[in-house]
Structure 1
């Protein structure tokens, strides 16, 4: 991988015990799509001795047009600030000295060399402190930061992708010792990781032997939606901010790259007529579907999240009112949500009174989603809706019974209520949203009827 570098320049670092050891400094031009940008290059260090040949690209960037390769410093120029010129010159000499003094032919490897260079480039307050990987800090975050077990599980796939990415860079792209450290990670590293995530399903097919070591089995990488990719990048930024807050690093590169906003499709939900058709459907000969139907209708009547619904007990019912603290926002805002129970909701509760420990039967979320779709098919609720294909970014038409999930029950509640009262603050008081929440807009659609009624107010 070093043969294509722009130029090579040599400087020897001597070690009394290893007189044949030599340190080579090479410039590798930085890639950029901006043709008018100043040409920059990374300084790459190569250490050679008998049976030793180590290569590491440093994070030191220099402007090639003003860089003196013989002196390993900048020529006299006003284009580069004098402080920067002095800093780079001293830094290069510091690295050469550190490598020379700490070199041991019996133990030297790429990880050691990278660690020595990074400690010179990014000096830390405690010299004895070791660099920590991004993956290990993420593990620490989900262990020490208050969060639900369900939230912690969301970070696990991101950690595994980070580990596969590092191995891919080392074994497939040939970057020996490549590791992402919290103290040294750069904005371009985040973007490169994002490209890997986008293309991992392709890499999996191109390098099957490489991926065998990860025992992916029945869960090979698949093409990810833009929303999933955005979520992964948010994980990295959240952990980066946490590391800064905890004093683990001063590296703020997590703020130096852009995460685009997730593109949301037009919300779809059942009309009141469709909902009532499902409620009144005779499913006595299919008791399993009957349970899924009751769960779905109850959730549509109270607008809670599925995780909250499966946690309800009799203690959450006060008279004819459901009261609960939404788990998702409990740690940020402990505000009780109160929802008056409709006659349909009360009737469903009576069917299951005393039959289980919780207020209602509980299911795995994936089973519940499959059950909802089966119920809608059984009831003939199959009108076409427009959804956004998050992988292609294009709108596609699907029967509503094929794309329904537990979250649609929440939209059933919010969307139909909003059509009746046109008051987002009143509706959000029963859903757990903060007043003025941007997230609330995802659950409702301002349809043509609403617009007509609105302009008629000034007719």
Structure 2
């Protein structure tokens, strides 16, 4: 006959543990079950491994004894059902049958759920709990739509989370890389999407890795919450998992100081003037495009002692984790551009797409003659290519240029206001005041120091 015992897998002497049980039936079966019972170790010591009260013990936790007895009885019943119905005597089947016996209503609901419904709930929960902000929420929603298209094409739109295996991960990776090949045959799946969201060429491996990392977070959460036994990503094997999830980037591309000054000093046509002003201002602020688009005159403050202007803002990407404002001094040229436009740049209404901000930055840099060759790895050919810098122009170039020019005068990212105090890489500069940053940033960009009155008029 089978033997059921309490399986203690802890070295702790006191405190609470969640009880596990073991069912053995000679060579026929050796099965484990993780219960929902939480027991104090000192109270548990009053019971035998079989869950019986030890001899001569008169004072014990009767509720705990009742719970253990009931759990063991259910395990015996489920094991008998497995034998009678010819089920495989494996741990996964054993655990599922016990779960169905203990939680029949919840099990029925779980049977109705699919991978797509679980993933949607996961995204909403991540956003609700502050794990991700609005920006990353939008990225997760895009991944959700891509995952939906993949499962429809594969005829698996009703697949359950527990049935999504390691081979489907690799199939999904291939789909993400080459989704553009499916557009013509599956036209209906792409109806209603903007042209920018319809894939027209192979995606980069970095983009695909980012999306797979999102899916891995989902499966890890489902595993942690014991909705599944094991994430399929952990079944991939180290080499395949690293190949699928690793992001590889070229050396950062940025404008050198002389190239930045070339943009400053080049007279551009009216069609590029607004782009030039926005590009120069964003480069001097070093902020992300999401923050740049939200800025207004309300973000400007004046240093009480030294009378220079600076911007202060709460970064959108990290505000769910930190409520500390970033403060970045405004150099004279930056202040001039702000007073000219009041942060109202029409070009920022459309960042991507044809004739959007990123496209216009490329045109601006080409007009200014910023054509230094930069090495770029071609994901398709697997060889390095050399492209003129203007072809790589985008709003991200502004932030990279800002950081590089700060480093040229020994100002790191903390001093520039882009990272918070405490980073090992920036401890040298944690005592710099806002005025110190202002002076050093002016040096980096070749700008003069200045003072303003309360109306931002330069004195």
TM-score (ref. length: structure 1): 0.61
* Of 279, 282, 286, the match for 1:303: 286
Q: Is the 8 A contact 2:179 2:199 kept in 1?
A: no
Matched, 1:135 2:134: no
Report the counterpart of residue 145 of structure 1 in structure 2.
126
Question: Which whole-Å CA distance do the structure 2 matches of 1:215 and 1:91 have between them?
Answer: 46
Structure 1 pair 228/359, CA: closer, same or farther in 2 (3 Å)? closer
Instruction: Confirm or deny: 8 A CA contact 1:428 1:434 kept in the other structure.
Output: no
Pairing partner for 2:277 from 289, 294, 297: 294
Q: Distance in 1 between matches of 2:425 and 2:173?
A: 29
Shift of the 91–348 alpha-carbon distance from structure 1 to 2, 3 Å rule, reads farther
The question of 1:191 aligning with 2:170 is answered yes
> Partners of 1:166 and 1:348 in 2: how far apart?
49
Aligned runs of 1:81-160 on 2, under 5 Å? 82-83=29-30, 94=85, 125=103, 126-131=106-111, 132-146=113-127, 147-160=132-145
Take 2:145 and 2:425, find their aligned partners in 1: how far apart are those partners?
A: 33
CA contact (8 A) 2:183 2:190 kept: no
Change (3 A) 1:293 1:359: closer
CA distance in 2, matches of 1:306, 1:406: 6
Query: Higher mean Cα deviation, 257-266 or 269-278?
Result: 257-266
Partners of 1:385 and 1:413 lie apart in 2 by: 18
Structure 1 vs Structure 2 CA RMSD: 3.8
Shift of 1:308: 0.4
User: Is the CA contact (8 Å cut-off) linking 1:225 and 1:390 kept in structure 2?
Assistant: yes
Q: How does 1:245-394 map to 2 (within 5 A)?
A: 248-249=227-228, 251-257=230-236, 258=241, 259-283=244-268, 285-286=269-270, 288-319=271-302, 320-353=309-342, 362-366=348-352, 367-394=356-383
Whole-angstrom distance in 1 between the partners of 2:224 and 2:339: 49
* Local SS of the residue matching 1:130: helix
Q: Which runs of 5+ in 1 are unaligned?
A: 1-75, 98-115, 171-176, 439-459
Match of 1:405 among 394, 404, 408: 394
Deviations 1:8-39 (A, max 9, x none): xxxxxxxxxxxxxxxxxxxxxxxxxxxxxxxx
User: 1:236, 1:433 → 2: CA distance?
Assistant: 32
> 1:425–1:435: 8 Å Cα contact kept in structure 2?
no
Residue 370 of structure 1 and its aligned partner are, at CA, apart by 0.8
Please tell me whether the aligned partners of residues 312 and 325 of structure 2 are also in contact (alpha carbons under 8 angstroms).
yes
The answer (yes or no) to whether the contact 1:133–1:180 under 8 Å persists in 2 is yes
Structure 1: distance between partners of 2:211 and 2:318: 20
Offset at residue 225 of structure 1 (A)? 0.9
Native 8 Å contact 1:95 1:117 kept in 2 = no
Deviation at 1:253, TM superposition (A): 3.4
Q: How far 1:148 moved relative to its partner?
A: 4.2
Q: Is the 8 A contact 1:303 1:430 kept in 2?
A: yes
Cα distance in 2 for partners of 1:261, 1:375 equals 34
Equivalent residues, number: 326
The aligned residue for residue 454 of structure 1 is none
Among candidates 168, 192, 195, match of residue 153 of structure 2: 168
Supply the distance in 2 between the matched residues of 1:215 and 1:360 (Cα, whole angstroms): 29
Give the secondary-structure state (helix, strand or coil) at the position aligned to 2:250.
coil
Q: Residues 309 and 402 of structure 1: is their aligned pair in 2 closer, same or farther, counting only changes over 3 Å?
A: same
Any idea what the Cα deviations from partners look like across 1:89-130, whole Å, max 9, x if unmatched? 975864779xxxxxxxxxxxxxxxxxx999659858433323
CA distance in structure 1 between the partners assigned to 2:385 and 2:421 by the alignment: 29
SS of the equivalent of 2:348 reads coil
Deviations 1:116-170 (A, max 9, x none): 9996598584333233222222222333432444433322332233223223333
Cα distance change of structure 1 residues 437 and 365 upon mapping to structure 2, 3 Å threshold:
farther
Contact 1:384–1:399 under 8 Å retained in 2: yes
Structure 2's unaligned 5+ residue stretches are 1-25, 33-75, 303-308, 427-459
Residue-by-residue CA offset, 1:332-372 (whole Å, 9 max, x unaligned): 2223211111111111112113xx7x589733111110111
Partners of 1:336 and 1:380 lie apart in 2 by 37
TM-score, reference length from structure 2: 0.61
What secondary structure does 1:323 align onto?
strand
Q: CA deviation at 1:293?
A: 0.6
**Aligned counterpart, 1:416:** 405
Higher helix share goes to which structure? 2
Q: Which whole-Å deviations, capped at 9, do the CAs of 1:56-109 have from their partners, x for residues lacking one?
A: xxxxxxxxxxxxxxxxxxxx98xxx94269999975864779xxxxxxxxxxxx
8 Å CA contact 2:166, 2:232 repeated in 1: yes
